[in-house]
Amino acid sequence: MSQTFAFRLIEPSGTVAEGEALSVVIPGREGEMTILPGHAPTVTQLDAGTVRIVSEGGDAEHEISGGFAGIFRKALTILVDGSPKDERQSV
């Protein structure tokens, strides 16, 4: 079994996506960041762009308008102002 971490994408109306991820690419203020299991804990501001989630069940993409990401060794939480699409999905 592959090493994964918990992932949640949350906007004011609720959780947009959640599940277990192998990796997640986020649009950081200084450029794209790839989050993997065991990433050093940090909080970072996000720009508008695409969040790309790779999971054992397949890949997913979500457009965001900016926000913040809380990165922990076994979890990633992304808080956004909103997204162009409001599609709820588990990965």
Structure tokens that stand for 69 in this block: 């990401």
Check if the beta carbon of residue 88 is closer than 8 Å to that of residue 15: yes
Contacts of 57 (CB under 8 A, 6+ apart): 19, 91
One-letter identity of residue 72 = F
- Please tell me the total count of domains within the chain: 1
pLDDT exceeds 50 at position 16: yes
Q: What is the pLDDT of residues 46-80, one digit of tens each?
A: 999 999 999 999 999 999 999 999 999 899 999 99
pLDDT bucket at 2, cuts 50 / 70 / 90: low
pLDDT at 91: 53
Owning domain of residue 43: 5-82
CATH code for the domain in which residue 54 is found: 2.60.15.10
Q: Who wins on pLDDT, 86 or 8?
A: 8
What is the pLDDT averaged over residues 13-31?
95
- At residue 83 the predicted structure's pLDDT band, cuts being 50, 70 and 90, is low
Say if 91 falls within a structural domain.
no
Q: How far apart are CA 42 and CA 40, in angstroms?
A: 6
Residue 90 in any domain: the answer is: no
d(CA 12, CA 17): 13
